[in-house]
Structure 1
Amino acid sequence: MRLLRLALASLRSRALTTTLTVCSIALSIALLTAVDALRAGTKAGFAGTVSHTDLVVGARGGELPLLLSTIFHVGTASNNISWQSYEHFAHHPAVAWTIPISMGDSFHGFRVIATDDNLYAHYKYRGDHSLSFATGHSPQSIFEATLGASVANQLHLGLGDRLTLSHGIEERSILKHDATPFTVAGVLAQTGTPIDRSVFITLLGEEAMHFGWEGGTPPAIGEAAPKLDVSQLHVDQITSFLLGARSRMSTLYLQREINTYKPEPLSAIIPAYTLQELWVLLDYADEALSLVSAAVLVVGLLTMLVALYTAVNERRHEVAILRAVGMPSSQILLLFVAEAVVIATVATVLGFVAVYVGLLLAHGAVERATGIPLMITRPSQRVLLYGAATIALSAVVGLVPAWRAYRTSLADGLRG
């Protein structure tokens, strides 16, 4: 305890140097921890976004883009699929339920998802959690909409408010569906998934918005828009759909049947397997950032070594006095090691706290800006190993100036 008090007093006497050394090591620890926390948080966020969905089905193309666009609303699908193909598999004897999804419009940068009541009945996230309403209900008529929690909170919208949706997924689209405003019928409870950042309408509601848009474009300037006739509305295409099989055994059979479907080129992916491709891509970036962070940690430890070693010359008189009052040379050696360990311990704790406080404050903004779900997870064993290794290495680094101080004679220190 006396040795620790002496170490703390010595470090306080060199407050500026100590602070700079602590900050340099804390920065390296923060980088290492942030890389690991972002990797673990992203994995947990992605994995918890959808549960109990056996297959995601869309047009033939890349598996990862299909998953990202359908589940995480990142990017766009390669093509649409016909309603006839969807109906064929929706009534397949091996299929328990399906959720049709049609995308292509937005509201203030938030995705507009056209679907049906199957979404509210069958969509699961984070295990067995189902969608629930904070207020209101699902859309019951063509021009009713349901808002995700983040959309309602950020735009200060509630039941009865009217929405004018935009064509396209750009935040500032020049094409507005002014002729077909929607009314908010419900607001979903917070889920911590991309559901929170979405606006949900009916499939016929989406068709009504685009009624008279020949070839996907609105009527030309000066051309009269056709009067909406609800009886003529019908769904021709959707973007993709989620599928739940009646048994686990039939999932692979269904996937093969969908992938070899003759009338239309389709792709069926198993979400968990496709996510593994994403983790492989993230692992490359994770390894690169970890190497950079490790290099920064080495620089931080070298900075501490230089600071402590340089201080030996300045502390020769101090060391001589300690010896004169009866402190053994071995205690002098331990004093320098203790100072190095204190610096590393404080820096490690500071680095950990900075990262997790930063994630707590910023994860909502990150999700809104990128659309990527980010969970705050507990420090992994790898992070704890980083911290323990840093403290252990600091003790080794502290032995260098400690050995020099140990070798300093009493007479030499008093002369200095």
Structure 2
Amino acid sequence: MKELAGRLSALDPDAGAAVQVIAYFDRLAESRAGMEALVRGAAVLAGVPARLVDADRLVRIRVEADGTRRDTDLPPAPEWPSAALTPGGTPALWLERAGAAPSVVDAVILERAAGAVRLVLDRTRGRVPVDDPALVETVLDATAPEAARLHAARRLGLDPGAPARALAPLGGRPRVLPADARIGQATPTETPVVRTGTVSLSTAPAEAPIGRLGSGPVSPLPTGATEALERRLHSGPPGSVRTGASETTGGRPGHGSPVSLRTRAPETTADRPRSGPPGSLRAGAAEAAVGRIGVGPAVPLTELPRSWAAARTALRFTADGTAQDPGPRVVYADELGGLALLADLVAPGAEPPPDVQALDAAAADAPWLLVTLHAVATTASLRSAAAEANVHHSTLQDRLTHAEHLLGWPVRTPQGRLRLQLALEMRRLARP
């Protein structure tokens, strides 16, 4: 195939590049590369960002042309070249190329990448009834036989060899998701969607055999593009493979050095951005999520009841994110650490501890107090707290002086700040 691609490149660069694309994605499929590696390959080869969105299986991956993953919730543009994962299906893979006609190379990249992605999805996810309440209830029931829980997990499309975690939404049904799923952004009328991180730990070849490919305005290939192209490559006299590229400008493969397509490591707890105390998730996508959600730790499928119990505890540490209830809407149980012990000491609906009563009394006197104190408790400095509360630094100092008078203890000393943090956490735990 390599020799054929080289000979074809001398006759028609686009045809040679298309053959290299076919070989490249064949190698990725043989190495059982994960979805992110496949989307990254499409992006780097095309020279534009590539995006995969499968709403049925809750997959959302976007990779920039330089190989950097940068997800987004903005909808794809209708004019972008795209491919469906199944014949006759809706577009699920896009190349973010605007203002140019589809090219032969783009068509081949999309078709081969979509085919490889479909194999990975069928292998790791299947067509899963992710919200089947009966199956979810079974896998989270500690009293159910282990065989019944594993059977339910398989029917949910969960990989028996991969960890998963339970989600406890406030007022909603429990959910079970693969461990690499992250809570994503949602509009005010939608439930939070899930954006996946690295789905497969298998890696792609360390170096890509070709660099970025050109994408000038040449004739597009329909479904079955690569098969038709291969038939043309193996028939007819030399030079008969003409796709319209020679009649136009652009559409030529790049001649740079090979591009490295390295897969990203799985996301860890340390990778989650935050600026709050342990247990809070301060990523912008999570803050825009609707409602409060507790997220259990990643565990083997047989231990999902334990993840569910931890998720319900984490839910108690969440907040509405309003002026009267500031705090994180999404809390990961495995980030709580020793704070989780407070959940056993403060019973919901019971008489609040004295410091919580002091907070509520002070908040009744000063409507700005809770937001201001939350900013102080969750930022690294008073200047950062002033920016978080959207007030001048001197205004923050005046507010804190008044707050300390109402509370009866200082909040600008290390010991007083810790007391404030605990009081805010206990206030959430004391809610009915």
Quick check: TM above 0.5?
Answer: no
With structure 1 as the length reference, what TM-score do the two structures score? Answer: 0.21
| Larger-gyration structure (1/2) | 1
Q: TM-score, normalised by structure 2?
A: 0.21
